[in-house]
Amino acid sequence: MLFPPSNGPMPRLAEQRTLLSSVAEVRIAATAVAASARRVLTLFSYNLEPEIYECPAFIDAVKRFVLGPRYAKVRVLIVNPGRVVYNRHEFIQMARKLTSCIEIRNAVPEFREFPASYMVADDQATLYRLQHTRWEGICDLKDADVARALLQRFDEAWTPSVTPRHLEVVRI
């Protein structure tokens, strides 16, 4: 998979609220949301789509976030981790090295039917795709109401979910 080089400037969105329709736009939006995080980055994903979450710019933004401020935290809830575990995934490799900053859990069965995929930075920036199988979505860098609603939904699934043992044990 080819990505743009990560040594250039961080991708920026043209506006505060942006409608997304392609993988390239979602990739830029995910990087922008991750770069805007100051305390907590929250991610609900079907299988950590490599087209988005293995992009060097996104990985760099998350690294800067977790290695920068004290107490930075990334919470990831994966609905279907099978493909992530058996494929070499850059985000998982980073999570294994930064275990005190990045926590990954499997969604419990009652939350596995939720078709959306989303990311929330702190309680402001959001990236939301109604269907995880499609690239259409919306990114808003300052919408506290939507962010709070998504975080509430995430916390309902996060609390009963557990850290998957095979992510800790399997060496990719």
Superfamily for domain range 17-167: Endonuclease Chain A (3.30.870.10)
Residue ranges covered by each domain of the chain: 17-167
Q: What is the mean pLDDT of the chain?
A: 84
- pTM, two decimals, is 0.83
Residue 63 confidence (pLDDT) above 50? yes
Q: What is the pLDDT of residues 3-62, one digit of tens each?
A: 455 545 545 565 678 999 999 999 999 999 999 999 999 999 998 898 999 899 999 999
- The tens digit of pLDDT for each residue in 121-142 reads 999 999 999 999 999 999 999 9
Alpha-carbon gap, residue 160 to 172, rounded angstroms: 27
